[in-house]
Amino acid sequence: MKTIYERPIKAENREELGHWEADTTLGHRGKCCLVTFFDRKFRFLLTGRIPINDSICVRDMIVKLLSPLNKKQRKTITPDRGPEFAKYQYFSRLCGIDCYFAAPWSP
C-alpha cells in the first residue's frame, strides 16, 4: 500500500489534471452512499450513488466513474483508509491508476 508521501510532486502541487481525491458520503440514516472523486487541479467532481457503503459497491462504482476517462485524466487516486477502499488493487489494475492512501488517523 502506497502512502500519500509517495504521491508524485505534480499531484501534490496541483500541476496537472488526473490526480483525484476519493471519499464516500453516507446518506440520511446510512440508507445510501455517494462515491466522490475530486480532481486536485481543476476541482472537477465525479459522483456515483451506491446502495451500501461496502468495498465491492465502492470498487464497482470507481471502475464505472473512471473507465470513460482517458489515460491522461486518470493518474492517481488518494482515498482515506476506510474499509470501503479495501479493493484498491482491483480498481487500480483495471483502470491503470496508482492509488495512494492518506496517513493513518488523518481526515
Read off the pLDDT of residues 36-90 as tens digits, 9 standing for 90 and up.
999 999 999 999 999 989 999 999 999 999 999 999 999 999 998 999 999 999 9
| Among 101, 55, 103, CA closest to 76 | 101
Inform me whether the pLDDT recorded for 105 exceeds 80: no
Q: What is the pTM of this model?
A: 0.89
8 A C-beta contact, residue 76 and residue 97: yes
Q: Report pLDDT for 107.
A: 63
Inform me whether the pLDDT recorded for 35 exceeds 80: yes
How far is C-alpha 17 from the geometric centre of its chain's CA atoms?
14
Residues 6+ apart with CB under 8 A from 79: 21, 22, 23, 85, 88, 99, 101, 102
Q: Report pLDDT for 79.
A: 93
- Is the domain spanning 2-101 CATH 3.40.640.10? The answer is no
